[in-house]
Amino acid sequence: MDNFEHTSVLLDETISLLNPVSGGVYCDATLGGGGHAEKILEMSNPDGRLIGIDRDLEAVEAATKRLAKFGDRVSIFHGRFSQLEEILEKAGVKELNGLLVDLGVSSHQLDIASRGFSFMNAGPLDMRMDTSAGETAREMLAGMSEDELADIIYRYGEERMSRRIARSIKKMEFDGSLNTTLDLAVAVRRVIGHKKPGKSDPATKTFQAIRIAVNKEMEELETLLDLLPVPLAIGGNVVVITFHSLEDRLVKQKFEKLVKPCTCPQGMPVCNCPEPVAAYNSRRSVRVSSAEKLLNRRSRSSRVRAIRRVL
């Protein structure tokens, strides 16, 4: 395995919102290289416990090595965060004092061409976060009609030129020239043009959309958010780092329902709406600092939202 390199985004802000303490039980549901998890374990010393989950086997291996120094305070599982309840049951955990979810793609996944996430280097059309299961991007594209592909690119990439891009991709597929990630990028650039100075690569939105569809990322996130406030203990915090508007909108809407469940007009004499089960740790999302953006360009779109269970 190549060295698993990943810079933890919004590390200080995230740990502050999560507020790990000694004796607490925490879950990093997107373990990655273990940067956030390591900080949680340090802050909850000497007897805080951490459950780590990741669907990427390479991340599981890297984090297992990095966190080995914490001994039996750490339990690491290969799986999806939508399986949280099942994994916590395996770990013998009934309640969490904190849950962290970092929805970003790791630098390792983006930089290693063989993973098929990058439009900068030729790699297989894979894009699976879990290379042991599910269909690859190439298999998914082959099973889609042009209209279905256009819908995916528009919905998950918010790409206004989705119809023309889907047509270009399908034409290359029909010609037998859609074999690598660079080929996919060419199909997009034929429609939009090439990268302009200071702008994102024109293939960015299409790659994002296909990756989200391959990994069923929005469905996974919805499943996890629908569990809340379970399995948090009273006073437990949930902290979510997002990287694009689709994720952030979903998290924001779910958090609002937990914090403000009442939909009655102001001034109604009788209200039978449920009591709020959560409160904001920070009313507004916390954005990445200018200093962090300079050090890690991939963090530029990240933001974090957090709530704590009160009922």
pLDDT tens, position by position, 212-231: 999 999 999 999 999 999 99
As given in the structure block, the two tokens for residue 265 are: 């007009």
> Do the domains spanning 11-107+218-309 and 118-217 agree at the CATH topology level?
no
Residue type, 38: E
CATH architecture of 118-217: Orthogonal Bundle (1.10)
Strand 49-54 to strand 74-78: parallel, antiparallel, or no bridges (unpaired)? parallel
Q: What is the pLDDT of residue 158?
A: 96
Q: What is the pLDDT of residue 5?
A: 61
- Rg over alpha carbons for the chain, rounded to the nearest Å, is 21
Q: What is the pLDDT of residue 264?
A: 83
For residues 256 and 251, give the distance between their C-alpha atoms in angstroms, rounded to a whole number.
Answer: 9
Q: 37-66 burial, b for 16+ CB within 10 Å, e for fewer? A: bbbbbebbeeebbbbbbbbbebbbebbeeb
Q: What is the pLDDT of residue 6?
A: 65
Q: What is the pLDDT of residue 298?
A: 81
Domain residue ranges of the chain, discontinuous segments joined by +: 11-107+218-309, 118-217
Q: What is the pLDDT of residue 19?
A: 98
127 torsion bin: left (phi>0), alpha (psi -120 to 50), beta (else): left
Q: Which residues of the chain have pLDDT under 70?
A: 1-6, 198, 267
Report yes or no: 16 and 281 within 8 Å, Cβ to Cβ: no
Q: What is the 3-state secondary structure (H, E, C) of 126-148?
A: CCCCCCCCCCCHHHHHHCCCHHH
Q: What is the pLDDT of residue 268?
A: 74
For residues 59 and 78, give the distance between their C-alpha atoms in angstroms, rounded to a whole number.
Answer: 9
Out of 3.40.1160.10, 3.30.420.140, 2.120.10.30, 3.40.50.150, which CATH number does the structure's domain 11-107+218-309 have? 3.40.50.150
Burial tier of 252 (Cβ tally within 10 Å: 0-12, 13-18, 19+): middle
Residue type, 91: A
Q: What is the pLDDT of residue 3?
A: 60
Q: What is the pLDDT of residue 111?
A: 87
Closest alpha carbon to 34 in 115, 89, 108:
108
Q: What is the pLDDT of residue 258?
A: 97
For residues 118 and 207, give the distance between their C-alpha atoms in angstroms, rounded to a whole number.
Answer: 8
Q: What is the pLDDT of residue 195?
A: 75
Q: What is the pLDDT of residue 56?
A: 97
pTM, 2 dp:
0.94
Closest alpha carbon to 251 in 238, 265, 235:
238
